[in-house]
Structure 1
Amino acid sequence: MKIVSIREKTVPISSAIRNAYIDFSAMTCSVVAVVTDVAREGRPVVGYGFNSNGRYAQGCLLRERVIPRLMSAEPASLLNDAGTNLDPHRIWARMMINEKPGGHGERSVAVGVIDMAVWDAVAKIEGKPLYRLLAERYRNGQADDRVFVYAAGGYYYPNKDVKALQDEMKGYLDRGYRVVKMKIGGEDLGQDLRRIEAVLKIVGSGDRLAVDANGRFDLDTAITYARALAPYRLFWYEEAGDPLDYALQAELAGHYDGPMATGENLFSMQDARNLIRYGGLRPDRDWLQFDCALSYGLVEYLRTLEMLNANGWSARRCIPHGGHQLSLNIAAGLGLGGNESYPGVFQPFGGFADDIPVEDSYVRLPDVPGIGFEAKRELYRIMQPLGES
């Protein structure tokens, strides 16, 4: 058993949307295929992966460092002890050979892309959905049969008025979501409050609306927004300041009693640990959004969950960023609090299996081996040629 080849390509996911910090007019992502010599139903087992939105494609790092390291390894060194399957932890260690500690950024995304594809292949070789495999390995076989999801949208579009924002949010409710998220910080406070109140007329109450500043605010602005947002009793107030400004986050907690969320732009267990140590987050109400596809993959995410448990945090306080199927499998298999969803943007990478509806903001997973990419037709149409070329 061995990895025969690893193939990558860059795919555009550009759109006219923007948040408070960046626009997505030139956004790209990497798609990879890990091809093995294992056959199922007469075809090679292929694992697929891609990186989450908000970080660009990692083709150079993949081609120059990560893929050559794996392909030059002794094949048996990448297998489990029994030699019956790939070992994601050994593969991860091989990808990180000669990488110094710290500097978690672009390389964490490149490693995360391969890691996703490896787990997809591992579950396919065992003939199981990934979430069931994870539950068996790490949760005594107990998997959640459905996962809470919220609809992320509410971006700033050119010439998009409040009525268009309301129509977007109504569309998410019609699709089965009961919690939605919108962007703030891209306009002044007065305009953002008008947008928030317009959305509240659609969703009905603050506990059905989360807002996301994408790290835009300094401390004074973050506090000003916090005071203005408090009466709405929102689902959460997300990433008010720079993701590495733990002092800002800690100070903000003294001015905002409602739930806060952050973590999507922290790309290692060590950075997540610093957030827990110094960010003033409250495990009874706040939410953690670490995205495995951006932060060295599931192998590193398992370390992060161990760290959280050691610091008194439940995995149920984790709702990952990214809206992708790997995090959905992790949520179901490891007992997270939910998963982000992108039903209207970043297609075909956003969203889940085609034929499984969202019901009251919960979704089930397809009963297919692996992560389930094959159950999302438009996405698999992009991936499949890479695995067969």
Structure 2
Amino acid sequence: MKIVDIKEKAVPIKSDISNAYIDFSKMTASVVAVVTDVERDGKPVIGYGFNSNGRYAPSGILRERFIPRLLDASPGDILNEEETNLDPHKIWNVLMTGEKPGGHGERSVAVGTLDMAVWDAVAKIEEKPLYQVLADRYRNGQVDEKVFVYAAGGYYQPDKGLDKLQEEMKSYLDLGYNVVKMKIGGDSLKEDIKRIEAVLDVVPSGKNLAVDANGRFDLGTAIEYAKELEPYDLFWYEEAGDPLDYELQAELAKYYKNPMATGENLFSMQDARNLIRYGGMRSDKDILQFDCALSYGLVEYLRILDMLGDYGWSPRQCIPHGGHQMSLNIAAGLGLGGNESYPGVFEPFGGFADNHPVEDGYVSLPDVPGIGFEAKSNLYELLQTVAK
């Protein structure tokens, strides 16, 4: 078998929403299609991938470096021993040929986008859902039949007052979510507390609400917020400071006894390991949010999980960022603690398969080969345009 073509397209995911750091008015994402010569049901197997929200489309380095590098590779460098399927680990090595260590930047996003498409193709060629492929390879076949998901929202928007914020959070509860998340740090502490208390008026308790500062705070501000937030007993306090400021995270843990979450903007196993070594993260309560689509793909994510095991962390403490079906498959197949979700936001990339609603905070996955994009109609419609 062989890869016959790889196509890329940058598409907008623009929105008028903003968090504490950026707005999404000009945000884009790369979509790739890896076309193989394997046929199923009379059609070529095509693997699809895209990068998660929050990072722009890495079109240039995909087209100039990584796609040509993969297309130029010999079959022995990208196929399994039987030469019947792609080998994602070999492909990762091909993609990273000639790349120096460190300086991850947008490179990790480009590789993660291609990696997603490769795994989608691998599972389609095996004619299994990706979560089953992962469970068979890495978890003795055990699959979580449903996965915990939380609704991420509560963004800052023009003319969005407390009433609209409450309506938004009520709508997530009505959709079946038990935990919702809102942004903080885009306004003053006083105003953010008003917003938090407004949401607490409509959710059952603090345990049903997480807050996310998107790395906005210096240490002093992070501690100020921590002292105000702690009495609410929130689900978690997320990414208070710069993601690479491990000292800030470690110091903050001295002032905040409740769960914290971070990691969505760490893009390699080495950075993840430094967080575990130096960030003061607590394996009995804190949550790690590494996103494979932004951090060199599932191949690197498997290395991260191995590293976490070495430091005594359970995969259940991992709840990936991104809100997409790739992370959902990883959670179900590898036994993670859950997955993010963006109801009605970042469509068509966010959300899960049609006819698989969230029920009591959990969602199931479709029994279709691959990642399951074909079971999400609005997303699959877009993906097909890339492959043409």
TM-score, normalisation: structure 1: 0.99
Which residue matches 1:370? Answer: 370
Name the SS of the counterpart of 1:133 in structure 2: helix
1:244-263 CA deviation, whole Å, 9 max, x = no partner?
Answer: 00000000000000000000
Name the SS of the counterpart of 1:49 in structure 2: strand
Is 1:304 the counterpart of 2:301? The answer is no
Name the SS of the counterpart of 1:73 in structure 2: coil
Matches of 2:194 and 2:83 in 1, distance apart?
60
CA contact (8 A) 2:77 2:94 kept: no
Matches of 1:105 and 1:59 in 2, distance apart?
14
Which residue matches 2:83? Answer: 83
Name the SS of the counterpart of 2:35 in structure 1: strand
- The within-5 A match list for 1:177-326 is 177-326=177-326
In structure 1, runs of 5+ residues without a counterpart are none
Which residue matches 2:112? Answer: 112
CA contact (8 A) 1:153 1:344 kept: no
- The within-5 A match list for 1:143-162 is 143-162=143-162
Name the SS of the counterpart of 1:202 in structure 2: coil
CA RMSD of aligned residues (A): 0.5
Name the SS of the counterpart of 1:381 in structure 2: helix
AA of the residue aligned to 1:87? D
AA of the residue aligned to 2:80? N
In structure 2, runs of 5+ residues without a counterpart are none
Query: Number of aligned pairs?
Result: 388
Identity percentage of aligned residues = 74
Matches of 1:41 and 1:385 in 2, distance apart?
20
1:262-294 CA deviation, whole Å, 9 max, x = no partner?
Answer: 000000000000000000000000000000000
Which residue matches 2:167? Answer: 167
Matches of 1:226 and 1:354 in 2, distance apart?
39
1:59-111 CA deviation, whole Å, 9 max, x = no partner?
Answer: 10000000010011112321001111100000010000000000011000000
Is 1:62 the counterpart of 2:62? The answer is yes
Which residue matches 1:35? Answer: 35
Name the SS of the counterpart of 1:355 in structure 2: coil
Matches of 2:379 and 2:75 in 1, distance apart?
30
AA of the residue aligned to 1:192? D
1:211-244 CA deviation, whole Å, 9 max, x = no partner?
Answer: 0000000000000000000000000000000000
Matches of 2:71 and 2:219 in 1, distance apart?
47
Which residue matches 2:355? Answer: 355
* 1:354 Cα deviation from its structure 2 partner: 1.1
1:20-71 CA deviation, whole Å, 9 max, x = no partner?
Answer: 0000010000000000000000000000000000000011000000001001
CA contact (8 A) 1:2 1:76 kept: no
Matches of 1:354 and 1:40 in 2, distance apart?
23
Matches of 1:107 and 1:262 in 2, distance apart?
21
* 1:385 Cα deviation from its structure 2 partner: 2.2
AA of the residue aligned to 1:133? V
AA of the residue aligned to 1:40? R
TM-score, normalisation: structure 2: 1.00
